[in-house]
Amino acid sequence: MKTFSTKASDINREWHLIDASGRVLGEVATESAKLLMGKHKAMFCRHMDVGDNVVVVNASKIKVTGNKLKGKMYYRHSNYPGGFRAVSLDEQLAKDPRKAVEHAVRGMLPHNRLEARMMNRLRVFAGEEHPHAGQISAPATPSTPSEN
């Protein structure tokens, strides 16, 4: 028996739809990252990008637990004096909820050259409508249902 080695011609990318309404941010990000990396496939290998395309809808209806709405902060700096900015999760969800989901998913992906390729296959929409209805055959089912 020989060891199977995944080739670029073996990769078959599918489309998955994740509805984030009423679900916890970390749960949605974990499921999205797993699909983007391709960990649900038998041909998964860490050094290749074998993942699928993921569409997340209803990002504005996402839930968080505990005091994260006020306590979780997103930081950035413009590299100019006085250029430090901090935004709470509550403000980020009001301004652009897509960025909160993208930030959570990016943190769960490997931080190497494949990260940018995987993030290019993630599409996040604040509402119900999205232009990828023709590609999606069936919505993704959550691996662990939410208990709330």
Instruction: Please give the backbone phi and psi of residue 38, each rounded to the nearest 5 degrees, phi first.
Output: 90, 20
| CATH number of residue 26's parent domain | 3.90.1180.10
Q: In the prediction, which pLDDT does 39 show?
A: 95
Look at the chain and report how many structural domains it folds into.
Answer: 1
Please indicate, yes or no, if residue 36 is contained in any of the structural domains: yes
Please indicate, yes or no, if residue 6 is contained in any of the structural domains: no
Tokens of 71: 């306590």
Kind and range of the H or E run holding 108: helix 97-108
Q: In the prediction, which pLDDT does 34 show?
A: 97
Please indicate, yes or no, if residue 104 is contained in any of the structural domains: yes
Which residue segment(s) compose the domain that 106 sits in? 14-64+97-124
Q: Which amino acid, one-letter code, is at 36?
A: L
Q: In the prediction, which pLDDT does 143 show?
A: 65
pTM of the model: 0.88
Please indicate, yes or no, if residue 90 is contained in any of the structural domains: no
Please indicate, yes or no, if residue 79 is contained in any of the structural domains: no
Q: Which of 143, 148, 125 is nearest to 20 (CA)?
A: 125
Please indicate, yes or no, if residue 71 is contained in any of the structural domains: no
Block means of pLDDT (10 residues each) for the chain, length 148 residues?
Answer: 87 94 96 96 92 96 95 96 97 96 97 96 95 81 62
